[in-house]
A and B are shown apart, each in its own frame.
Chain A
Amino acid sequence: MTSADIAAVYPEIIVTAVALIVLVADAILDRRRAALALPLLVIAGLIVALASVFYQVPATQYFRGFVTIDAFTSFFRGVFIILAIFAAAISPAYLARRGVPAGEYYAIICFSTVGAMTIALSADLITLFIGLETMTIPIYVLAGIQRTDRFANEAAIKYFLLGAFSSALLLYGFVWLYGITKATDFVTIAAFLTQQGIANGPTIVALALVTVGLGFKAAIVPFHQWTPDAYDGAPTPATAFMSVGPKAAAFAAILRVLLVALGPLVVDWSAVLAILAAVTMTGGNIVALAQTNTKRMLAYSSIAHTGYILAAVAAAKAGPSAGAAVLFYVFAYGLMNLGAFACLLYFDLEGTRGASLDELNGFGRRQPLGALAFAIFLISLTGIPPTIGFVAKFLVIQPVLDAGLAWLAVVIALNAVLAAFYYLRVVVRMYMYDVEEKEPRLVSGRTLSVSLGVASFAVIVLGILPNSIYEWALRAAQPLVR
């Protein structure tokens, strides 16, 4: 381990340090002061980490080939840290209200972020698996952090059991890969598979196991059953984070494993992924249509968005534009989905879980700016310009058509119409239904409002001027193409 190795992972070190400092500060500071100091500390620390992402180190391998630093790594590091900052900013009021231990909460988010960042820099199956587990285990805790809430307990145990199951499958797949190729690093695996040529029986088994394992992590239909319950049961700010951070990390893993290590088998997996993508978006949307609880509706809609992203992965043979579309969509999805879930925090009233559609009635009057932000996120999720969600859809359709999957592009378009139906139903409730008598007062936290304001503004501005993000994504997708 040289000093160059250490310099390569500065961002991860900083985020870990932030997590540790938070735990110590939580122990030292008294309750009142901690409520204000902890989130500030986390956000400041994460901003430092974000700055360190742009500290350039030579794009090569470190730690004897276990770690690779390239534009792809930087992109995902940036995305994970931004999402963690956002998640930390929306939480304080909720944590105080519900008596959730704040120190642990923020530390868990940081630890999980370190795990996600480790996935992004992995050059080896082992690093990747460690990153995946470091990311997921804190999330199991996060889901059940409200120990006295039985729904949270159910969410945590479900998430944990299925997560453990899928990790085992994934690991088993990795073992098969190792058995076939005698290597665990992506480059050697890819070289071996290229030499081997056509996929044979064992390779197919390994590929299937890996796909199913990663499919669980990303919540691809039919491996999605844990998602709605876990998202629904977890505390709302945690749900907001869970729905984007781990999802983005899962796609980082999918890109690294499928495109880089298993790239030579692209013909074998891309057709399967295309079908899975169509099933995932359609399934997610159809079930979301039937939901009356907004939190569950957003949970299912996040499955649908997984399908759109997966469609771009399936179009990998279109070249860098496919990878760039995945990265851009992951970024856009993170911003708008986290924002949409965070808007539900306004409805965090005594004795309610999530927000039923009825509770949303007249939101536009009761909390005009909060409702406006929610409407912007929902319109972006629908894919209507001028929002970042529209640009993301445009960018996804492009490689899909380029790869000759015209049917999938049409499926995407029709699904967006389905999705419009339930997203706009929320807007209808907010603006077109009158407020009932003696509505309960809405909750609002200052940091929540500020971060929602920034995020909804970003959704619009980046929808009109997406060039910088797209170019960043395009650069980041280069290492995936060989």
Chain B
Amino acid sequence: MTNVLSLLVVIPLAGLIPLFLFRRDERAAKQVAITTTFVELLVSLWMLTKFVPGEAGFQLVERVDWLPSLGIRYLVGVDGISVFLVPMTTLLTFISVLYSSGGAIKTRIVEYMTAFLLLEVGMVGVFVALDLFLFYIFFELMLVPMYLIIGIWGGPRRIYATLKFVIFTLAGSLLMLVGIVAVYLESADASGSRTLSLPELIELRGRFPADFQFWVFLAFALAFAIKLPMVPFHTWLPDAHVEAPTAGSIVLAGVLLKAGGYGFLRFGLPLFPIGVQAWLPVLIVLSVIAILYGAIVSAVQKDLKKLVAYSSVAHMGFVTLGIFVLNLQGGVGAVLQMLNHGFVTGALFLFVGIQYEKTHRRMIADLGGLANMWPLFTTFFGVFVFASLGLPGLNGFVGEFLVLLGTFGFSGAPPLGGLFWGPLAAIGVILAAVYLLWMFQRVMYGPVREAYRALPDLSRLEIACALPLLLLTVILGVVPQPFIAYIQPSLDRVIRLATDPSFVVVAFR
């Protein structure tokens, strides 16, 4: 069976039917959502087994003429860049749904699960769509459910946060829509037939003139930069994260932000090599600023959740830096960093949520001494904190190390070459250790507070949610090589497409 990717798009939709039928029964709704997302996870793992590593092109491709009069297709496929992002999405969604069904969400369970399943359609779709029209639809499909998740089940300032999130994201994506239409019009051949299919667009990208690439890449880059988010478009992120329910934060940080980085790799770099070159200095400066600024701002946060949110800004700075140094190490590092950030930051938000559920406090000053009461919690949380700050042996190190390696090898003009940016970015790694360890120390150590003495350690459900993430954190840290073997060939091709405008891939599909 080759239509496993369509299956992945359809399963969450199919889950909506029993959810609707059992809309009066909250227990049943939870079970339906857990089952659906679990089946989805299994199918995505099955997809992973069908993927043949070592090939650069797209696999498991499906193609259906969708809007024939416009030349728009339903075209899906995965390559080394997206093949792990899909199971990451399904895993994080499953964990989110599992955790939410444990009592973290108390009102309107059915609507909540509906929103999550719809969100999963969008998230999986974004990583498998190979037609720009289709990609845009999935990209936007993520927006409305997340808007509702933050706005209905969020914290006190949820409405401000959710509107800010939507307006920021829409502003970027609507400009990208203009860019997509521009690409569509520019793709016309002599007979006037047009396309938005990525493989075909890559073949004919030589036709895109330089000033066209300059502006259209800007339109795409704005959308991705807001989603990612890059400084200075990041201001929606802390608000959204602080107000979102725990599961919403996990998915927002774990998956939605990746859509931005993935968009750069999938569409920005291959389609507009000249545009990329033109904007490269700006993008690299912004990435390094994000790394340093994110770290410094994290350090001064009083709110635990906000601290993790700002640390996302810094981590995603490594992703964009790895992408825009335009070499293999940087690129592979960026993809690994996306995966690592998904697992680790997802887990950090999970633990901040668990902690909040127990203590009802999120201000770092109100916490302390938790380690004495909660050995299990401390162990798990500690591992994720160390992974986040890039301790060798855990996954965070691999991604950041490769990005730094790529940055040192960046062939920019001498004053602003790799030897300038590399050390700056490395400072970011040190700063990460400072703010994360300081936070860990203030929250976990110190005298036990009387108010928290009777609170229980991790429950079985919470362990079940955290364990897969812990295993992946260790495995990715100890044996990254098999993962890199999947990613490398596709990434190599993307880098060549981005650095050589005349490079034409034949039979990329």
**B116-170: which residues lie under 8 A (CB-CB) from chain A?**
133, 136-137, 140-141, 143-144, 147-148, 151-152, 158-159, 162-163, 166-167, 170
Among B67, B144, B171, contact of A384 (Cβ-Cβ < 8 Å): B144
Q: Contacts A431-B151, A470-B69; is A386 near B141 (CB within 8 Å)?
A: yes
The closest CB in chain A to the CB of B192 belongs to A319
Given contacts A379-B144, A384-B144, A420-B170, contact A401 B68 (CB under 8 A): no
Mask: chain A, 356-394; 1 = CB below 8 Å from B; 0 = not: 000000000000000000000001001111100010011
Whether A470 lies near B143 (C-beta < 8 A) is: no
- A414 contacts which chain B residues (CB < 8 A)? 171, 174
For chain A, the bracket of interface size reads 20 to 34
Given contacts A379-B144, A385-B140, are A431 and B174 in contact (CB under 8 A)? no
Do B167 and A413 touch across chains, with their CB atoms under 8 A apart? no
**Which of A393, A402, A410 is within 8 Å of B185, CB to CB?**
A402
Alpha-carbon separation in the docked complex, A384 to B173 (Å): 10
Whole-angstrom distance between the Cβ of B24 and the nearest chain A Cβ: 12
Residue of A nearest to B139 (CB): A385
What is the bound-complex CA distance between A12 and B382, given in angstroms?
77
A60 CB-CB contact with B under 8 Å: no
Residues in B with CB closer than 8 Å to A474 are 69
Residue on A with the closest CB to B136? A385
Instruction: State the Cβ distance, A390 to closest chain B Cβ, in Å.
Output: 7
Asked if A409 contacts B178 (CB within 8 A), the reply is: yes
* Cα–Cα, bound, A409→B182 (Å): 10
- Flag whether A467 is at the interface (Cβ < 8 A): yes
For B194, the closest partner residue in chain A by CB is A398
Please tell me if the beta carbons of B67 and A470 are within 8 angstroms of each other in the complex.
yes
B interface, size bucket: 20 to 34
Please pick, from B137, B174, B184, the residue contacting A417 in the complex, using a CB distance under 8 A. B174
- Chain B residues in 8 Å Cβ range of A54: none
Please measure, in the bound complex, the distance between the C-alpha atom of A474 and the C-alpha atom of B177, giving whole angstroms. Answer: 22
How far, in Å, is B466 (CB) from chain A's closest CB?
30
Q: Is A467's CB under 8 angstroms from B175's CB? A: no
Q: Using Cβ atoms and an 8 Å threshold, which residues of chain A touch B174?
A: 383, 413-414, 416-417
Q: A420-B170, A428-B163, A431-B152 are in contact. Are A410 and B175 (CB under 8 A)?
A: yes
Contacts of B151 in A (CB 8 A): 428, 431-432
Residues of B within 8 A of A397 (CB): 177-178, 181
B170 CB to nearest A CB, Å: 5
Contact of A424 among B67, B70, B147 (CB under 8 A): B147
Chain B residues with CB under 8 A of A390: 137, 140
Residues of chain A lying within 8 A (CB to CB) of residue B185: 398, 401-402
| B255: min CB distance to chain A, Å | 19
Contact with A along B200-214 (1 / 0, CB 8 A): 000000000000000
Please measure, in the bound complex, the distance between the C-alpha atom of A427 and the C-alpha atom of B167, giving whole angstroms: 14
Residue of B66, B133, B152, B178 near A413 (CB, 8 A) is B178
Taking CB atoms, residues of chain A closer than 8 Å to B148 are 431
Contact across chains for B67 and A416 when beta carbons are under 8 A apart: no
Q: Give B148's nearest chain A residue, CB to CB.
A: A431
Contact with B along A284-302 (1 / 0, CB 8 A): 0000000000000000000
Whether B177 contacts A413 by the Cβ 8 Å rule is yes
- Indicate with 1 or 0, residue by residue over B58-76, a CB within 8 angstroms of chain A CB atoms: 0000000011111000000
Contact among A384, A401, A402, A425 for B140, CB-based, below 8 A: A384
**Contact across chains for B170 and A471 when beta carbons are under 8 A apart:** no
CB–CB B175/A432 < 8 A:
no
With A416-B174, A431-B151, A431-B152: A421-B137 Cβ-Cβ less than 8 Å: no
What does DSSP make chain B's interface, helix, strand, loop or mixed? helix
- Distance from B495 Cβ to chain A, minimum over Cβ atoms (Å): 30
Q: Which residues of B contact A412 (CB under 8 A)?
A: 178
Indicate whether A479 reaches chain B with its CB closer than 8 angstroms: no
Cβ distance A85 to chain B, nearest Cβ, rounded Å: 27
Is residue A466 within 8 Å, beta carbon to beta carbon, of the partner chain? yes
B146 to chain A, nearest CB (A): 12
Contacts A413-B174, A420-B170 given; does A401 touch B69 at CB 8 Å: no
The SS class assigned to the A binding surface is: helix
In this complex, which of B67, B143, B151, B177 has the most chain A Cβ atoms within 10 angstroms of its Cβ? B177
A384 touches B177 (CB 8 A): no
**Bound complex: CA of A427 vs CA of B166, how far in Å?**
12
Cβ 8 A contact of B163, one of A386, A393, A394, A424: A424
Judge whether A410 and B137 touch: CB under 8 Å.
no
> Nearest chain A CB to B30's CB is how many angstroms away?
19
Chain B residues with CB under 8 Å of A416's CB are 170, 174
CA distance A431 to B141 in the complex (A): 18
In the complex, the answer to whether A471 meets B181 with C-beta atoms within 8 Å is no
Q: Once the chains are docked, how many angstroms separate the CA of A394 from the CA of B133?
A: 9
Given known contacts A394-B177, A413-B174, is B136 in contact with A421 (CB within 8 Å)? no
Shortest CB distance A474–B (Å): 6
CB pair A471–B69 under 8 Å, yes or no, is yes
Q: Chain A residues with Cβ under 8 A from B171's Cβ? A: 414, 417
Report yes or no: B166 in contact with A420, Cβ–Cβ below 8 A.
yes
Give the residues in chain B near A379, CB-CB below 8 Å. Answer: 144
Please tell me if the beta carbons of B141 and A409 are within 8 angstroms of each other in the complex.
Answer: no
Nearest chain B CB to A341 CB, angstrom units:
22
Residues of B contacting A432 in the complex (Cβ-Cβ under 8 angstroms): 151-152, 158-159, 162
Alpha-carbon gap, A471 to B67, bound state (A): 10
Interfacial chain A residues near B159, Cβ < 8 Å: 428, 432
Interface string of A81-97 (1 = CB under 8 A from B): 00000000000000000
Q: Are A401 and B178 in contact (CB under 8 A)?
A: yes
A402 to chain B, nearest CB (A): 5
Nearest chain B residue, comparing its CB with the CB of A475? B69
Partner of A421, one of B133, B143, B163: B163
Within the complex, the shortest CB–CB distance from B159 to chain A, in Å, comes to: 6
In the complex, what residue of chain A is closest to B171 when comparing beta carbons?
A417
Complex Cα distance, B361 from A213, in Å, reads 64
Give the complex CA separation of A431 and B70 in angstroms: 37
Chain A residues whose C-beta falls within 8 Å of the C-beta of B182 in the assembled complex: 401, 406, 409
Query: In the complex, which residues of chain B have a beta carbon less than 8 angstroms from the beta carbon of A383?
Result: 174
Bound: A471/B136 CA distance, A: 22
On chain B, the residues within 8 Å of A427 by CB distance are 147
Docked pose: A414 CA to B219 CA in angstroms: 12
Most central of B66, B167, B174, B175 by chain A CB within 10 Å: B174
Q: Distance in Å from the Cβ of B46 to the closest Cβ of chain A?
A: 27
Query: How far does the alpha carbon of A30 sit from the alpha carbon of B112 in the complex, in Å?
Result: 49
Partner of B69, one of A402, A421, A424, A467: A467
Q: How far is the CA of A88 from the CA of B457 in the complex (A)?
A: 62
Q: Within the assembled complex, what's the spacing in Å between the Cα atoms of A470 and B158?
A: 39
Of A398, A420, A428, A467, which contacts B184 at CB under 8 A? A398
Complex alpha-carbon distance, A431 and B152, angstroms: 7
Complex Cα spacing A401 to B185, Å: 8
The CA-CA distance from A383 to B70 in the complex, in Å, is: 19
Contact A467 B67 (CB under 8 A): yes
> Per a CB cutoff under 8 Å, which of A385, A420, A470 touches B141?
A385
> Given A398-B185, A414-B171, does the pair A466, B67 have CB atoms closer than 8 Å?
yes
Besides A424-B166, A432-B158, 16 other CB < 8 A contacts? A383-B174, A384-B144, A385-B136, A398-B184, A401-B178, A401-B182, A401-B185, A409-B181, A409-B182, A410-B178, A417-B170, A420-B166, A428-B163, A432-B151, A467-B68, A467-B70
Pairs A–B under 8 Å by Cβ, sample size 22? A379-B144, A384-B170, A390-B137, A390-B140, A394-B133, A397-B177, A398-B181, A398-B184, A401-B181, A406-B182, A406-B215, A410-B178, A414-B174, A417-B170, A420-B170, A421-B167, A432-B151, A432-B152, A432-B159, A467-B66, A467-B68, A470-B67
Closest 6 CB pairs of A and B: A413-B174, A385-B137, A397-B181, A432-B151, A417-B171, A409-B178
